[in-house]
Amino acid sequence: MERSPAQMYALVIGVALVATGVLGFFYNASFGIDPVERDAVLGILDVNAWHNLVHLSTGALGLAVASSYAGSRVYAYGLGFVYLLVTIIGFVYGDGEAIFGLIPINTEDNVFHLLLGVAGLAAGAASPEAPAPTTTRPDIAQAR
């Protein structure tokens, strides 16, 4: 069965976010709030334990719905919208700050979130509401 763009997005982004979340704990596993502790993964993306949990949970959700046509479409649109909102909030807070005093961000994080958001909306839009009908009859496919 061919995957829709939204299913590919859910799978690829799910794997990437889970991997980023796990990798992030090797850099910083602190839940410190005042001041917010941070370290940069590969010298690029600011993370702490809160940020890692966000990546792990949004990635795991993607993996959970990747096999569902409708679920992955909702995920792509939902995550796209949420990450665009996070991008806007991140740019308002500014480089080196922490969203809601918990999640450290920098300009690179904001650009990453922007790309995730745009890709999510594009994957959702590229996936029709219903999958294309198959040309194989299930009764014939099972007989083979």
DSSP lists the bridge partners of residue 46 as 40
Domain count, the chain: 1
Tokens at residue 111, please?
Answer: 């650009």
Q: Is residue 139 part of a domain?
A: no
pLDDT above 90 for 70: yes
pTM of the model: 0.86
More confident residue, 143 or 105: 105
Angstrom distances, CA of residue 53 to CA of 22, 29, 125, 137: 9, 10, 28, 44
pLDDT above 80 for 141: no
Q: Is residue 92 part of a domain?
A: yes
What confidence tens digit (pLDDT) does each residue in 12-52 have? 999 999 999 999 999 999 998 878 889 989 889 999 999 99
Q: Is residue 39 part of a domain?
A: yes
pLDDT of residue 33: 80
The residue segments making up the domain with residue 109 are 5-128
**Confidence at 138, pLDDT banded by 50, 70, 90:** low
pLDDT, mean of residues 76-80: 98
Q: Is residue 96 part of a domain?
A: yes
